[in-house]
Amino acid sequence: MTAKHFLSLMDFSRDDLAQIIERASELKHLHAAGVHHRPLEGKTLAMIFELKSTRTRVAFEAGMHQLGGHAIFLRPDETQLGRGEPVGDTARVLSSLVDIVMLRVLDHTDLNSFAAVSSVPVINGMSNRFHPCQLLADMQTFIEKRGSIRDQSVAFIGDGYNLCNSYMLASDRFEFDLTISTPPEFRPNKDLLDKNRRAHWVATPQEAVSGANLVVTDVWSSMGQENQLAERREAFQGFQVDSNLLDHADTNALFMHCLPAHRGEEISVDLLEDPRSVVWEEAGNRLHSQKALLEFMLG
Ligand code: CP
């Protein structure tokens, strides 16, 4: 199969990613100016959401519409996937019906299985392993606010899960230094940590945040971990990001959260309204960065 997929940030070169981010800001300005830009007329995106979504779904659906194309929302329980049709068969069929497919799945191996036989490009709309679309928006937001992120210092506080994994890959692709602090039992994936020489783990959030230019966190219990809520709340005590913790960062630091946020858990009740928080722009940039991604992949 020759289709170029976007299952993780490592699927694209540094130059490709820089081009997408730059284009995202251009598309944002075109949209704000009311310019109609419809290069994807006649193109169709199929979106398979095994897990819930607000931002990813709406950004892709609105983005395809604005670019002149069409998006179809599919839930496995409303398609034959829910009745056991194999992922590979679904991929073969959709390849002959649409131009590009986005999947949000719990098990990243399903994404790999789909992509392995898909003859159209496949986008990871989040899996248990990576969330690359979120990183496009995060990088766009930082660069728009502060300029290049190269050689800047980023702190990730919380769960060493899919967003943390994507930040580790981003530290390579965008060439920044990443310091991660998690409870010991929620440390990030060892292979990824070993492979990404700009990423390292420290024990305390204060140490991770010290001098950081960007501070990032995510929920303590992601989708699929709902049965661990109580034990995770206990394990993550001391890892809440609040304004006092942000005071350890650089005076010009930004705070990001991919949302949805749980106020009073991974962030203090008022943190999203802190002047250092850029979460609303970050969420808005999901639209522009995903439009740039679609334009890039559908050429
Ligand atoms: N951050 C993020 O992916 O949001 P959704 O789950 O709403 O798509």
What are the tens digits of pLDDT across the range 134-155?
Answer: 999 999 999 999 999 999 999 9
- Reported as a pLDDT band with limits 50, 70 and 90, residue 271 is very high
Residues 146 and 249 in one domain: yes
Q: What is the pLDDT of residues 40-99, one digit of tens each?
A: 999 999 999 999 999 999 999 999 999 999 999 999 999 999 999 999 999 999 999 999
Task: Please check the confidence at residue 1 and state whether its pLDDT lies above 70.
Answer: no
Question: 239 CA to middle of ligand 1, Å?
Answer: 22
CATH number at residue 239: 3.40.50.1370
Residue 1 lies in a domain: no
Whether pLDDT at 243 is above 80: yes
pLDDT at 107: 96
CA distances from 262 to 44, 54, 132, 206, 218 (A): 35, 15, 22, 21, 9
Look at the block and give the residue holding tokens 């199929």. 46
Residue 218 a catalytic site member:
yes
Q: Does the Cβ of 56 fall within 6 Å of ligand 1?
A: yes
Q: Per-residue pLDDT tens for 168-178?
A: 999 999 999 99
Domain assignment of residue 158, yes or no? yes
Range of the domain at 213: 133-283
- Asked whether residue 204 falls in the same domain as residue 174, the answer is yes
Contacts of 204-209 with C-beta under 8 Å, sequence gap 24+, read 205/155, 205/157, 205/181, 205/238, 205/239, 205/241, 205/245, 206/245, 206/248, 207/179, 207/181, 208/155, 208/156, 208/157, 208/179, 208/180, 208/181, 209/155, 209/157, 209/181, 209/245, 209/246, 209/248, 209/249
> 213 and 260, same structural domain?
yes
155 located within any domain: yes
Q: What band does 119 get if pLDDT is binned at 50, 70 and 90?
A: very high
One domain, residues 82 and 115: yes
Amino acid identity of residue 60, one-letter, is F
Establish whether 131 is a catalytic residue: yes
Rounded to the nearest angstrom, the gap between the alpha carbon of residue 110 and the centroid of all alpha carbons in its chain is: 18
Both 125 and 185 in a single domain? Answer: no
* Angstrom distance (rounded) from CA 212 to CA 284: 23
**Is 4 inside any structural domain?**
no
Residues 78 and 180 in one domain: no
Residues 123 and 139 in one domain: no
Taking residues 274-285, what's their average pLDDT? 98
Q: How far is Cα 110 from Cα 296, in angstroms, rounded to an integer?
A: 24
Identify whether residues 140 and 108 lie together within a single domain: no
Choosing from 47, 49, 126, 217 the residue with most ligand 1 atoms within 8 A of its CB, the one to mutate for a pocket test is: 126
Q: Report pLDDT for 226.
A: 86
Annotated active-site residue 240? The verdict is: no
Report the pLDDT value the prediction gives residue 299, as an integer from 0 to 100. 86
Of these residues, 134, 140, 240, 290, which one is catalytic? 134
Backbone dihedral angles phi then psi of residue 231, each to the nearest 5 degrees: -70, -35
- Give the rounded percent of residues in the chain with a pLDDT score beyond 70: 99
- Kindly state whether residues 59 and 141 are assigned to the same domain: no
Query: Which of 217, 270, 219, 277 is closest to 241 using CA atoms?
Result: 217
Is the dihedral angle over the CA atoms 185, 190, 174, 297 positive or is it negative? negative
Whether residues 164 and 114 fall in one domain:
no
Total domains in the chain come to 2
